[in-house]
């Protein structure tokens, strides 16, 4: 009898272990407990709300894509509601997960990959900033960067080439006297470039809190920016600049909530915040359409056409061969990346929006 009980117990323990391992494998993540299962269910529920509020911005099916012209990639028109895309509860809720999954959950796979048209590889990082920690940009630190730039010294977290590419792109925008929004910032080198070029004010948006006492810089987290937009206290911006940031939106790497359309929503929101004929300068990794989950996205002709939906194409330093070169494809699939820059214009008349 005792022997039978022991065998039954052994079978139960191995069975439970086997089941949890299979569940873990099927979900493509390292989640195995019921607590995390519940968290994934919460992601799924929130995502259904995102789809409902997001309108055409979150629709990527080929048959439903309204292509109205061809530039460096297809020019796509997607009518949507600015009011709905700033629905605080749906788009600005914090992550339900303790940590981003290491692989795309099965229920979001089609959405992340444009129905299987975007190649995926996996590399994991967790760069979430603890709640207790915020970036501290003091006035002198920003002013030192401005002075360096004024003396012709390139300042960038990505080397001199990134600095000069961004500067070249900014020849297509009018920054003197402008109020510009920077999306994604850990060190204020883009802010310093804008101030050096005569911007009257820079607002910075980042998932992490940034403390800054420079009189010409205001910082926001996404919930703070949304609250200001909804209360009508947010200024209308002359333009937006974002370098090496939007490609991360919605991948969970920075503690943000998992969202296959985080990048498309960030650009749609930027469109709402900028005045008509205002600009966007955006630097993201370019190559064959690809996601290195959860590190970043790499944009090719498919993902660019959706990322920049409703924006008029003005300038790029992208070599279109990057989309198809075999060497670059291998590099991209292996986790390598190379930023290029686009300058875009909001033009309501052109898109009949």
Ligand X SMILES: C[S@@+](CC[C@H](N)C(=O)[O-])C[C@H]1O[C@@H](n2cnc3c(N)ncnc32)[C@H](O)[C@@H]1O
Residues that bind ligand X (CB under 6 A): 157, 183-187, 205-208, 222, 243-246, 248-249, 254, 266
Could you tell me which of 351, 258, 353 has the C-alpha nearest to residue 313?
351
Residue with Cβ nearer ligand X (74 or 180):
180
* Rounded least distance, CB 253 to ligand X, Å: 8
Rounded distance, CA 280 to CA 272, Å?
12
In angstroms, what is the minimal distance from the CB of 62 to ligand X?
A: 26
Closest distance of CB 14 from ligand X, Å: 43
For 153, the token pair is 């010294």
SS3 220: strand
Least distance (Å) between residue 263 CB and ligand X: 7
115/157 with CB nearer ligand X: 157
Nearest residue (beta carbon) to ligand X? 184
User: Smaller CB distance to ligand X: residue 159 or 215?
Assistant: 159
| CB-CB contact of 217 with 205 (8 Å) | no
At 163, list the tokens: 């600095």
Q: Is 326 exposed, middle or buried (0-12, 13-18, 19+ CB in 10 A)?
A: exposed
d(CA 37, CA 31): 7
Strand partners, 136: 211
Which residue lies nearer to ligand X by CB, 146 or 246?
Answer: 246
Sign of torsion, CA 251 255 261 266? negative
Nearest approach, Cβ of 107 to ligand X (angstroms)?
22
Q: Is the Cβ of residue 206 or residue 289 nearer to ligand X in the bound state?
A: 206
Which of 36/263 has CB closer to ligand X? Answer: 263
Q: Nearer to ligand X by C-beta: 27 or 166?
A: 166
**What b-and-e string marks burial along 159-180, b requiring 16 or more CB atoms within 10 Å of the CB?**
eeebbebbeebbeebebeebbb
In the complex, least distance from residue 182 CB atom to ligand X, rounded to whole angstroms = 8
Q: What's the CA gap between 127 and 124, in Å, rounded? A: 10
CB of 118 to ligand X, least distance (A): 18
Helical spans, DSSP H, in the chain: 2-27, 34-54, 82-85, 88-91, 109-112, 139-150, 159-170, 189-196, 222-230, 262-273, 301-307, 326-333, 348-351
* Min dist. Cβ of residue 208 to ligand X (A): 5
For residue 347 the two structure tokens come to 């033009």
State which residue, 43 or 182, has the beta carbon closest to ligand X.
182
């Amino acid at each position: 009898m005792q022997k039978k009980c022991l065998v039954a117990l052994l079978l139960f323990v191995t069975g439970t272990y086997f089941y949890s391992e299979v569940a873990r494998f099927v979900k493509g993540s390292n989640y195995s407990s019921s607590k995390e299962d519940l968290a994934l269910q919460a992601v799924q529920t929130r995502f259904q709300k995102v789809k409902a509020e997001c309108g055409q911005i979150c629709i990527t099916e080929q048959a439903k894509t309204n292509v109205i012209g061809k530039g460096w990639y297809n020019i796509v028109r997607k009518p949507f509601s600015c009011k709905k895309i700033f629905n605080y509860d749906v788009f600005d809720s914090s992550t339900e997960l303790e940590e981003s999954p290491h692989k795309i959950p099965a229920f979001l796979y089609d959405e992340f990959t444009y129905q299987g048209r975007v190649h995926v590889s996996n590399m994991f990082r967790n760069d979430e900033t603890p709640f207790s920690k915020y970036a501290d940009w003091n006035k002198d630190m920003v002013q030192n960067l401005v002075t360096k730039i004024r003396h012709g010294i390139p300042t960038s977290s990505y080397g001199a080439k990134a600095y000069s590419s961004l500067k070249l792109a900014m020849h297509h925008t009018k920054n003197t006297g402008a109020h510009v929004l920077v999306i994604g910032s850990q060190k204020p080198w883009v802010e310093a470039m804008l101030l050096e070029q005569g911007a009257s004010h820079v607002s910075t948006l980042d998932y992490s809190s940034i403390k800054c006492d420079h009189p010409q810089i205001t910082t926001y987290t996404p919930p703070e920016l949304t609250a200001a937009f909804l209360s009508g206290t947010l200024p209308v911006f002359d333009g937006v600049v974002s370098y090496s940031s939007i490609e991360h939106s919605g991948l969970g790497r920075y503690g943000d909530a998992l969202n296959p359309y985080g990048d498309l929503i960030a650009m749609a929101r930027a469109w709402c915040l900028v005045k008509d004929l205002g600009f966007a300068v955006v630097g993201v990794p370019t190559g064959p359409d690809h996601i290195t989950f959860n590190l970043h996205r790499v944009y090719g002709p498919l993902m660019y056409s959706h990322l920049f939906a409703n924006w008029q194409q003005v300038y790029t330093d992208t070599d279109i061969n990057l989309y198809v070169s075999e060497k670059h494809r291998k590099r991209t699939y292996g986790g390598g990346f190379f930023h290029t820059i686009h300058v875009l214009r909001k033009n309501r008349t052109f898109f009949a929006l």
